[in-house]
Amino acid sequence: MKIGILLKEGPYNHQASDTAFKFAEAAIKKGHIVDAVFLYNDGVTNVTKLMDPPQDDRNIAGRWSELSKKHGVEILACIAASKRRGISDDILVEGSAITGLGTLTDIAIRNDRLVTFGD
């Protein structure tokens, strides 16, 4: 099955990003294709490489980057939401990109499921 994920909250403030990540990992483990994770609202702040949490905490941006590298999951931040929040190409972690809401529409159309995580 092909699954798209929509993540609407930023890292750390809410559990949404953690649940989305765990869900994506489990879906891949079960043999599904996680096509893309689309970041919206504050969700766009999931992929800034300026993120530098304490060593004993998870690095949420790094984790999304790894997921992209290992499994080819596209990690896509909405351009309008990114511009509002100061997220630009030069501060994105590897494996992520900025794109438009049209891409989210494509993700909704081409996948069997679109699963939303938010708060």
Structure tokens at 105: 């529409």
Nearer to other proteins, 62 or 118 (CB): 118
Neighbours of 73 (CB within 10 A): 23
> Should residue 104 be labelled a site residue for other proteins when binding is judged by CB under 8 A?
yes
Structure tokens at 88: 């630009």
Nearer to other proteins, 54 or 102 (CB): 102
Report the site for other proteins in 72-91 (rule: CB under 8 A).
80-81
Q: Which residues contact 70 (CB under 8 A, 6 or more apart)?
A: none
- Lay out the site mask for other proteins across 25-44 (x = CB under 8 A, - = otherwise): xxx-xx-x-------xx---
| Of the residues 19, 33, 49, 59, which one makes contact with other proteins according to CB under 8 A | 19
Active site residue 78: yes
**What are residue 114's DSSP bridge partners?**
4
Q: What is the DSSP string of 10-36?
A: -TTTSSHHHHHHHHHHHHHHTT-EEEE
φ, ψ of residue 81 to 5 degrees: the values are -65, -35
CA 29 to chain centroid: 18
| Of the residues 10, 16, 63, 76, which one makes contact with other proteins according to CB under 8 A | 16
Q: Where does this chain bind other proteins (CB under 8 A)? A: 1, 3, 6, 8, 15-16, 19, 22-23, 25-27, 29-30, 32, 40-41, 80-81, 100-102, 104-105, 108-109, 113-119
Catalytic residues: 78
